[in-house]
Chain A
């Protein structure tokens, strides 16, 4: 009885599988004509802007359809991709990695496929800093960049000329919002303002000196924020009257009528950027090259600046951005973060940063 049942089951199963196979055969020619690419981007407003403005323009230009994949951020996404690669099936072809994550991925090895640069002539528009090359080849080409900027409440204080003014307790006692994560570039700001910049963070003595200087700002910090929304609320509510926040969101808040302004002080603001990286398991080398070539085009860099609020990675002169449009997404000087230090001495910096925050 059971045997018969099982045989019946097998027969049914076989016919279902046959049907599925038949339907996939019928469907195949259609799919084959349609070239496609799965592209990861940070969710929410950012991803929506991509889906609305960038992907359609690309499909129109090349005929390749894009399937958008939501990434939470880059560090978490690397863990997901690492596990997916080990399992043999990845959720996306192209991922968006910040530079530190990209370096980490290249050190881990086996996660990123080198790009075919002959298909990406537009990459030559960019500073070579934004084209990340490892031993096996080019692993990432810059997609867009963003600034972590000095912000102030324009009703309460005048725009500071230097980051050093934030250390003045007469003006800013218990009034600032600074990012709580050790690698979210406040150390780079301190290094650029009071020391020799990124190279100071190359030694343990330098790191300790920078952290000690950072600790002097603690009485002025009302909020060490870990989620973007915390700082946004605090700026809107007047819980803080200044601090460190993303340039694009600050500009959006100012456009909504809140009394906040982004400032480029003497030392500048830290600039971070995301790179397109192809998964090691993806066979869409050609499509990926076409997509990256598309986004590296100054015309499309300008499109992203206007629609998403990111800073262009190509010289502003090569784009058609007006001075005003450029000032809304970028500025000078840019502070380049000490990515290698954060990676090579991650535990040391994190523990000493946490001790500083804890006052221990």
Chain B
């Protein structure tokens, strides 16, 4: 029996109800047609024709915007993905599934099949998974401790974190690039502190060389999976904090205190009280960041070896690269989109099951 279950149920249920109420404020009744009783519209229209017309116009504009900005580009990408490139020239519209076939078995199937593009998708998923889990896992204790601070201190931290979102991906990658460079970064530190020599004496240097983390002269951190994943999780870390903050700040301190008075250590409190209470935001944030990271471009081009590069890079190479093969680029984009949708659906399913379980 966990500590959470030993706590009298009533306060917990009340807290949960309060949370629910906060999460779903009473919705103002929309003035749309369906919501108003049948008899009302006529009198309503007769008395006030303008608001109703504006309302209809507003809806039409909204729909037009959604169509123009969201649906049309996606449809266009899907249509292009059915086209075919003409070797040494441009591409042309067509209705072929060859680009999708190429994604799974390569362009020279069946003579010489290759899983090159599936391999790239694998690296997309791998980086996004590790980096999003890492970001959420490290942001959780930070955010929890932050919510225990005074209101003013919390505000300062939040402003700082929000401000750091203004840094572009290019800027962040540049910073990490310098941090990990031979003459200006970590490897230089290894050299001047004698760490490199010590590694060479103890034989660890050869192990690092085998792992690709050293050249004959010094250690090297780029290109490596370590640098790629670290930079990617750094990129989304502020988002993780902001996504977790509402749930953690609503957490009733009385719950942890009650558990503590019953003799639970801090680790037990974290495991049995805090974690279960924020399980849903945790899963939700991880999935959101995961999908966000699927399309990372700059960090991967700079820090990942070409043998470990991702679908996003390949899309750009095909659309804008020398071959101008937009149809294959579009097909890869559609597959990445489908992958992201699958994972979001999975995430939705998991959180829904989680919330049903809690209720």
Given contacts A104-B89, A351-B114, contact A75 B182 (CB under 8 A): no
Please determine whether A76 and B320 come into contact, CB atoms closer than 8 angstroms. yes
Please determine whether B181 and A183 come into contact, CB atoms closer than 8 angstroms. no
Given contacts A76-B320, A175-B215, A347-B85, contact A354 B181 (CB under 8 A): no
Please determine whether A351 and B116 come into contact, CB atoms closer than 8 angstroms. yes
Contact with B along A148-176 (1 / 0, CB 8 A): 00000000000000000000000001110
Say yes or no: is A42 at the interface (Cβ < 8 Å to chain B). no
Q: Which of B114, B115, B214, B220 makes the CB contact (< 8 A) with A239?
A: B220
Say yes or no: is A344 at the interface (Cβ < 8 Å to chain B). yes
Q: Which of A107, A108, A174 makes the CB contact (< 8 A) with B214?
A: A174
Q: Is the interface of A mostly helix, strand, loop or mixed?
A: helix
Contact with A along B325-341 (1 / 0, CB 8 A): 10000000000000000
Say yes or no: is A27 at the interface (Cβ < 8 Å to chain B). no
- Whole-angstrom distance from the CB of A82 to the nearest CB of chain B? 7
Q: List chain A residues, Cβ under 8 A from B305.
A: 224
In angstroms, Cα B90 to Cα A91, docked, is 20
Say yes or no: is B184 at the interface (Cβ < 8 Å to chain A). yes
Please determine whether A350 and B115 come into contact, CB atoms closer than 8 angstroms. no
Say yes or no: is B24 at the interface (Cβ < 8 Å to chain A). no
Within residues 196 to 230 of chain A, which ones have a CB less than 8 A from any CB in chain B? 222-224, 226-227, 230
Say yes or no: is B6 at the interface (Cβ < 8 Å to chain A). no
In angstroms, Cα B182 to Cα A220, docked, is 16
Q: List chain B residues, Cβ under 8 A from A236.
A: 183
Q: List chain B residues, Cβ under 8 A from A174.
A: 209, 212, 214-216, 220
In angstroms, Cα B119 to Cα A239, docked, is 27
Q: List chain A residues, Cβ under 8 A from B115.
A: 360
Please determine whether B114 and A355 come into contact, CB atoms closer than 8 angstroms. yes
Q: Which of B89, B107, B119, B182 makes the CB contact (< 8 A) with A351?
A: B107
In angstroms, Cα B4 to Cα A79, docked, is 62
Q: Which of A108, A346, A355 makes the CB contact (< 8 A) with B116?
A: A355
Q: Which of A82, A181, A227, A343 makes the CB contact (< 8 A) with B321?
A: A181
Q: List chain A residues, Cβ under 8 A from B120.
A: 358
Please determine whether A360 and B119 come into contact, CB atoms closer than 8 angstroms. yes
Contact with A along B89-103 (1 / 0, CB 8 A): 110000000000000
Number of interface residues of B (CB under 8 A): 41
Q: Which of B107, B184, B322 makes the CB contact (< 8 A) with A342?
A: B322
- Whole-angstrom distance from the CB of B161 to the nearest CB of chain A? 29
Contact with A along B128-153 (1 / 0, CB 8 A): 00000000000000000000000000
Given contacts A233-B177, A346-B87, A347-B87, contact A358 B214 (CB under 8 A): no
Say yes or no: is A54 at the interface (Cβ < 8 Å to chain B). no
Please determine whether B107 and A75 come into contact, CB atoms closer than 8 angstroms. no
Please determine whether A103 and B88 come into contact, CB atoms closer than 8 angstroms. yes
Please determine whether A350 and B323 come into contact, CB atoms closer than 8 angstroms. yes
Please determine whether B301 and A239 come into contact, CB atoms closer than 8 angstroms. no
Contact with B along A335-349 (1 / 0, CB 8 A): 000000011111110
Chain B CB within 10 A, most for which of A75, A238, A344, A348 = A238
Please determine whether A239 and B222 come into contact, CB atoms closer than 8 angstroms. yes
Q: Which residue of B lies closest to A239 (CB)?
A: B182
Q: List chain B residues, Cβ under 8 A from A182.
A: 322
Within residues 255 to 291 of chain A, which ones have a CB less than 8 A from any CB in chain B? none
Please determine whether A359 and B184 come into contact, CB atoms closer than 8 angstroms. no
Please determine whether B306 and A224 come into contact, CB atoms closer than 8 angstroms. yes
Please determine whether B301 and A226 come into contact, CB atoms closer than 8 angstroms. yes
Q: List chain A residues, Cβ under 8 A from B87.
A: 343-347
In angstroms, Cα B306 to Cα A354, docked, is 8
Please determine whether B322 and A75 come into contact, CB atoms closer than 8 angstroms. yes
Given contacts A174-B215, A358-B119, contact A346 B322 (CB under 8 A): yes
Please determine whether B324 and A79 come into contact, CB atoms closer than 8 angstroms. yes
In angstroms, Cα B183 to Cα A344, docked, is 43
Q: Which residue of B lies closest to A341 (CB)?
A: B88
Say yes or no: is A5 at the interface (Cβ < 8 Å to chain B). no
Q: Which of A183, A344, A358 makes the CB contact (< 8 A) with B322?
A: A183
- Whole-angstrom distance from the CB of B206 to the nearest CB of chain A? 12
Please determine whether A222 and B223 come into contact, CB atoms closer than 8 angstroms. yes
- Whole-angstrom distance from the CB of B332 to the nearest CB of chain A? 12
Say yes or no: is A237 at the interface (Cβ < 8 Å to chain B). yes
Given contacts A107-B89, A175-B215, A360-B119, contact A100 B182 (CB under 8 A): no
Q: Which residue of B lies closest to A72 (CB)?
A: B320
- Whole-angstrom distance from the CB of B128 to the nearest CB of chain A? 18
Chain B CB within 10 A, most for which of A103, A236, A239, A355 = A239
Say yes or no: is A138 at the interface (Cβ < 8 Å to chain B). no
In angstroms, Cα B320 to Cα A183, docked, is 13
Q: Which residue of B lies closest to A354 (CB)?
A: B116
Given contacts A222-B223, A237-B184, contact A108 B90 (CB under 8 A): yes
Q: List chain B residues, Cβ under 8 A from A107.
A: 88-89
Q: List 18 interface pairs A-B (beta carbons < 8 Å), by A numbering.
A: A75-B324, A104-B88, A104-B90, A104-B324, A107-B89, A173-B209, A173-B215, A230-B302, A233-B181, A238-B182, A239-B181, A239-B182, A346-B323, A347-B323, A347-B325, A348-B107, A359-B307, A360-B115
10 nearest interchain CB pairs? A343-B88, A357-B306, A174-B215, A237-B181, A238-B182, A346-B323, A183-B322, A107-B89, A237-B183, A238-B183
Question: Residues of B with Cβ closer than 8 Å to A?
Answer: 85, 87-90, 106-108, 114-116, 119-120, 177, 181-184, 209, 212, 214-217, 220, 222-223, 301-302, 305-307, 309, 314, 317, 320-325
**Given A224-B306, A344-B88, A360-B115, 12 further pairs, Cβ under 8 A:** A100-B322, A104-B324, A174-B215, A237-B184, A345-B87, A346-B325, A347-B107, A350-B321, A351-B114, A355-B116, A357-B309, A358-B306
